């Protein structure tokens, strides 16, 4: 195995280890449960599907360079409001925000590691 392949293999091992560590955090487990609850909630599914159809219509108008119809925008805002009012949706958003904070810290640590790795002429392997 050449040096580049060994380096990539080591990076992939570290990434898998990081993924396992993240998967074991309470924040990730809470997010996974919140996603499962959202997927199992019929009202959430109904509203999400309705919202996505309206969103497609709005996006299609925007892609054509047109202003979306005011009735579509009203339906869009109403559907979003109904979705946001659901407790299961609120739980999902809160869980995602908590996990995102963990990921921001992880990303910052990775960025710092990359900066120090780029500044170092020696490549350490373990």
Contacts of 121 (CB under 8 A, 6+ apart): none
Q: Which CATH number fits domain 16-100: 1.20.1500.10, 3.40.50.300, 2.40.50.140, 2.40.320.10?
A: 1.20.1500.10
Where are the chain's structural domains? 16-100
Distance in angstroms (rounded) separating the CA atoms of residues 12 and 87: 38
pLDDT values of the chain reduced to their tens digit, one per residue, 126 residues: 588 889 899 999 999 999 999 999 999 999 999 999 999 999 999 999 999 999 999 999 999 999 999 999 999 999 999 999 999 999 999 999 999 999 999 999 999 999 988 887 665 555
Residue with tokens 């946001």: 84
């Amino acid at each position: 195995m050449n040096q580049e392949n060994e380096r990539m293999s080591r990076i992939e091992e570290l990434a898998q280890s990081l993924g396992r560590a993240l998967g074991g955090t309470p924040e990730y487990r809470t997010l996974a449960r919140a996603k499962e609850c959202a997927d199992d909630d019929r009202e959430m599914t109904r509203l999400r599907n309705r919202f996505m159809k309206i969103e497609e219509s709005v996006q299609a108008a925007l892609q054509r360079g047109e202003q979306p119809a005011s009735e579509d925008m009203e339906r869009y805002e109403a559907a979003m409001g109904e979705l946001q009012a659901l407790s299961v949706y609120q739980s999902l958003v809160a869980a995602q925000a908590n996990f995102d904070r963990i990921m921001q810290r992880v990303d910052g640590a990775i960025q710092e590691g990359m900066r120090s790795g780029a500044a170092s002429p020696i490549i350490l392997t373990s």
